[in-house]
Amino acid sequence: MGSTRKGMLNVLIAAVLWGSSGVCAQYIMEQSQM
C-alpha cells in the first residue's frame, strides 16, 4: 500500500512539473512572437 501511494505521488509530481513546464514554454513562445 505504501509503495503504491508513493508511486501515485511521483506520478502526480511528474504531471505537475510537466504541466508547469508546458505553460512556461507556451508563455515564452508568445513573448518571443511579440
pTM exceeding the 0.85 threshold for the entire prediction: no
Per-residue pLDDT tens for 4-28? Answer: 999 999 999 999 999 999 999 999 9
CA distances from 25 to 14, 16, 33 (A): 16, 14, 12
pLDDT of residue 2: 82
24/34 Cα distance (integer angstroms): 16
Helix (H) or strand (E) holding 21: helix 2-33
Nearest one of 7, 22, 14 to 30, comparing CA atoms: 22
**Residue range(s) defining the domain that contains residue 31:** 1-34
Domain count, the chain: 1
CA distances from 7 to 4, 14, 16, 33 (A): 5, 11, 14, 39
